[in-house]
Amino acid sequence: MKQYPYIIVGGGMTADAAVNGIRRRDRDGEILIISDEPFPPYQRPPLSKKLWLGMRMEETWLPGWQRQRGVTLLLGSAVAAIDAEARTVVLWTGAAYEYGQLLLATGGRPRTLDSGGSRVFYPGNMVEHIRLFQTLQEPTEVLVVGGGFIGSEMTAVLSSAGHSVTWLMAEREPFIDFLPDTLRSRVLQEYHAHGVALHGGQQVTGFETADSEVVAVTESGQRFQGSVAVAGLGFIPNDELARPLGLTAEKGGVKVDALLRTAQDGIWAAGDVSVLGAEGALMMHEDHAVTQGRRAGENMAGAAKPYDHLPFYYSDIYDFGYEAIGECRLTLDVVEDWVVPGEEGVVYYLMDGQVRGVLNWNVWDGVPKARDLIQSGQRWSKGELIGQIRN
């Protein structure tokens, strides 16, 4: 049986970053990446953004692992089980490999509804996006289901690309707990300007498909018809390999300590699948995947550095782009600092005068400063916050 000092299960952004992390400390140790996808590591965020607006598929590839010596990539190969005693991973094909250190970078997959055939799309990985891309070659009536970040981005890009979009969500309006009124109404105006028919308060429970149409059926019995449906219903962690080893958190995900170790010697986890600490939650964002993946790689190669990064996430909607860090929810006190209301500015979310979250709206390079404000624990008056981040 072939032995590798490092095996990474999953070939996403976390895996790519982990290779870079390992190579910071170990220039030669052989690395095996095992991925069940047919593609080398690629960036996922452009799939729901620039890919629809002219970006070429190959621009999403992450070249990091290719530049490193001693990295073998096994594509289209799913790991079926881990034998922690024997320190081996076993593929569904029966092939087995022995590891020195093993990283679980298996990410997450879209939550799905039981019903619905090939006209229902769950935009997660590249294969599903290509399938959707091939289907939407002509202007099409699309149902987008879900008011979260995938739903909001897919509605924006598909309506920009000339499709007629009906957007259904359980919430009364999108961003209802997140964006203050000034901003939310500006964003909704943009969706309306692109012809989006928005229906809030519609909990979709299933799909019916027939010939060339799909119908989304809601809890209240309403029916919405389109040619295809695109559902963004959240993601669930791919933690199945860790379950038999007792390494999963109650709400799902693989539990890790500050060094990103699981409770099993030689097994680490990072990225969308990991849950940090006893009170931790899943963090399914690029900055988290990249920084945690890199740190896991360094630690697998002996660094013993804690992961204490406060990650941000970002999104694009039409010509708006935002970066959010910390707790950005309207149950906190809100201070708005606009250059142009609804177009460019910063929203602070505070508790007892302390900054808990920051939203930079069409304001760039403000994440480090926002992180400092949150981590300082200092109390701020509204006047003191104005101009802290924006120019």
Whether the CB-CB separation of 181 and 267 falls below 8 Å is answered with no
Indicate whether 146 belongs to the interface with ligand FAD (CB under 6 A): no
**Both tokens assigned to 91:** 């593929």
Indicate whether 360 belongs to the interface with ligand FAD (CB under 6 A): no
Q: Who contacts 151 (Cβ-Cβ below 8 Å, separation ≥6)?
A: 144, 145, 167, 169, 174, 232
Fill in the DSSP letter of residue 85: T
The rounded distance, in Å, linking the Cα atoms of 314 and 312 is 7
Q: Which stretch binds ligand FAD (CB under 6 A): 34-42, 198-206, 207-215, 217-225?
A: 34-42
Tell me if residue 149 falls in helix, strand or coil. Answer: helix
In the list 61, 115, 171, 313, the residue contacting ligand FAD (rule: CB under 6 A) is: 313
Which of 338, 306, 152, 175 is CA-nearest to residue 232? 152
Indicate whether 123 belongs to the interface with ligand FAD (CB under 6 A): yes
Indicate whether 108 belongs to the interface with ligand FAD (CB under 6 A): yes
In the list 314, 318, 320, 380, the residue contacting ligand FAD (rule: CB under 6 A) is: 314
Q: Which stretch binds ligand FAD (CB under 6 A): 12-20, 336-344, 352-360, 379-387?
A: 12-20
In the list 4, 7, 8, 13, the residue contacting ligand FAD (rule: CB under 6 A) is: 13
In the list 284, 296, 370, 374, the residue contacting ligand FAD (rule: CB under 6 A) is: 284
Residues in contact with ligand FAD, total (CB under 6 A)? 36
The rounded distance, in Å, linking the Cα atoms of 155 and 230 is 9
Give CA angle at 272 (304, 5), nearest 5°: 45
**Residue 16 or 350 having the CB closest to ligand FAD:** 16
In the list 5, 64, 107, 357, the residue contacting ligand FAD (rule: CB under 6 A) is: 107
Q: Which stretch binds ligand FAD (CB under 6 A): 3-11, 56-64, 201-209, 364-372?
A: 3-11
The rounded distance, in Å, linking the Cα atoms of 142 and 156 is 12
In the list 19, 32, 48, 191, the residue contacting ligand FAD (rule: CB under 6 A) is: 48
The rounded distance, in Å, linking the Cα atoms of 364 and 343 is 13
**Residue 316 or 336 having the CB closest to ligand FAD:** 316
Indicate whether 371 belongs to the interface with ligand FAD (CB under 6 A): no
- 174-233: contacts with ligand FAD (CB under 6 A): none
Which of 36, 94, 39 is CA-nearest to residue 65? 39
